[in-house]
Amino acid sequence: MTMKVIYVTNQIPNYRKKLYENLGNSIDLTIAHYGKNNPSIFYKELRIKHQKGRYFIYTQNSIDYNKYDVVIVWGSLRFYELYKLIFKKNKKFKLILFGPGVSASYTKKYDNDWKVAFIYRFLLNKVHAAIFYDNYPVIKYAAKGISPNKLFCAPNTVVINPKYPSVEFKKDSFLFFGTLYKEKGTMILLDSYKQLKSKCKGSIPTLNVIGDGPELKSLMDWVNNNKLDDIVKFHGRITDSAIIEEFFRKSFACISPKQAGLSVIESMAYGVPFVTSKYPITGGEYSAIIEGANGFFFDGTVNGLTQVLEDIINTNKVDLDFYFNNCLAFYKRFRSPELWVSQMLKAINYTSSLND
């Protein structure tokens, strides 16, 4: 019989939809959420109501969880349904927690809140298994006494369907890709580009900025006031995957000074190395960056980033191809959608084999 699984979460983001569809090919998958409709023939979509309180997000639903073999629940510590499921009596289903496993936000560095780790450790003793976005929490909680058998990693990834797989694009630019928040350190990038322009005698690669957000207007004004319009181009939010692919594949590197999230993986999927500070504020995906192989770290300063960009510009094509090929190899071997699905199924199969 096909395994019946329900995943209870906040939304079905577009970047995960294809992953959920691939997972739905192997199991009878239902996704219960309170976000925007995002239907598919590969899973059932169940809408639930929610209400945000001071500390928790409460949901109102009448789901009969005992109809399912496995219940996967979003691992946000604010999601009250998580606690209800953990302490639910007479459970006939197996329970899996799915989330980052450690603190991650734009205001605190990755895994910088001991309270979050303390609560997670308590919760991990109560669930049948846990799936994390990265391998770091697996190691962390195994070291703290949680059975490693119940800890899994489905590496956070994106599904890429290249439109131009056999076309070789000329590299002529750098790229920032994502929502423009102050916490991402976009001003460090612009300041370094201003410095780069004054240092380099010849022409320098264009900096393409794709994305919108609260910082967009102020950044555009700053670029205009500093007369950098000729080398810094803002393109706003782009959703067309073919256009996004062109920008990536024309780039020497993708840069995000203080944040290293899914754009790291998307960049590598296109064979483009990633540049960020050594310890970015958020985004466990920075652990995918291997200095000297598929990306570059800098010390968090404008001077440091300028030096890294200058080094990339002056690197010969053979050495750059080494980076590009390593990015593709890393994505295919360690961040592929197939790996994500197989790890999810591995956790589901593990819990279903347990005897209470």
DSSP string, 282-325: B-GGGGG--BTTTEEEE-SSHHHHHHHHHHHHTS-HHHHHHHHH
* 130-171 tens-digit pLDDT: 999 999 999 999 999 999 999 999 999 999 988 988 788 999
* 260-290 tens-digit pLDDT: 888 999 999 999 999 999 877 666 687 899 9
Share of the chain above pLDDT 90, in %: 81
Is position 249 within any domain?
yes
In terms of domains, do 328 and 347 share one? no
Spatial separation of the C-alpha atoms in residues 280 and 270, rounded to whole Å: 22
| Residue 92, pLDDT above cutoff 80 | yes
In terms of domains, do 151 and 193 share one? no
In terms of domains, do 211 and 131 share one? no
pLDDT of residue 193: 96
pLDDT of residue 215: 95
pLDDT of residue 111: 75
Is position 14 within any domain?
yes
Is position 303 within any domain?
yes
Domain carrying residue 198:
173-334
| Residue 38, pLDDT above cutoff 80 | yes
In terms of domains, do 125 and 15 share one? yes
User: For the residues 7-11, what does the mean pLDDT come to?
Assistant: 97
In terms of domains, do 143 and 197 share one? no
pLDDT of residue 86: 96
Is position 152 within any domain?
yes
pLDDT of residue 5: 98
* 95-135 tens-digit pLDDT: 999 999 887 766 666 777 788 889 999 999 999 999 999 99
Report yes or no: 96 and 128 within 8 Å, Cβ to Cβ. yes
Output 112 or 174, whichever has higher pLDDT: 174
Is position 164 within any domain?
no
Is position 108 within any domain?
yes
Is position 165 within any domain?
no
pLDDT of residue 285: 81
The 8-class DSSP code of residue 43 comes to: B
Report yes or no: 142 and 101 within 8 Å, Cβ to Cβ. no
In terms of domains, do 277 and 197 share one? yes
pTM assigned to the model: 0.90
Alpha-carbon separation of residue 29 from 26, 32, 45, 163 (angstroms): 9, 10, 9, 29
Q: Which residues of 238-252 are buried (b: 16+ CB within 10 A; e: fewer)?
A: eeeeeebbbbbbbbb
pLDDT of residue 58: 96
In terms of domains, do 324 and 341 share one? no
Q: How many domains does the chain contain in total?
A: 2
In terms of domains, do 66 and 183 share one? no
Tell me which residue of 3, 155, 7, 24 sits closest to 95, measured CA to CA.
7
Report yes or no: 232 and 195 within 8 Å, Cβ to Cβ. no
In terms of domains, do 189 and 85 share one? no
Q: Which structure tokens are listed for 6?
A: 């329900």
Is position 163 within any domain?
no
Spatial separation of the C-alpha atoms in residues 347 and 340, rounded to whole Å: 11
Which CATH number goes with the domain that contains 320? Answer: 3.40.50.2000
Mean pLDDT, the chain, rounded, equals: 93
In terms of domains, do 198 and 63 share one? no
pLDDT of residue 283: 61
In terms of domains, do 153 and 253 share one? no
Spatial separation of the C-alpha atoms in residues 119 and 115, rounded to whole Å: 6
CA 260 to chain centre: 8
Report yes or no: 331 and 268 within 8 Å, Cβ to Cβ. yes
Q: Which structure tokens are listed for 175?
A: 């790229």
In terms of domains, do 123 and 22 share one? yes
The strand pair at 173-177 and 251-255 is best described as parallel
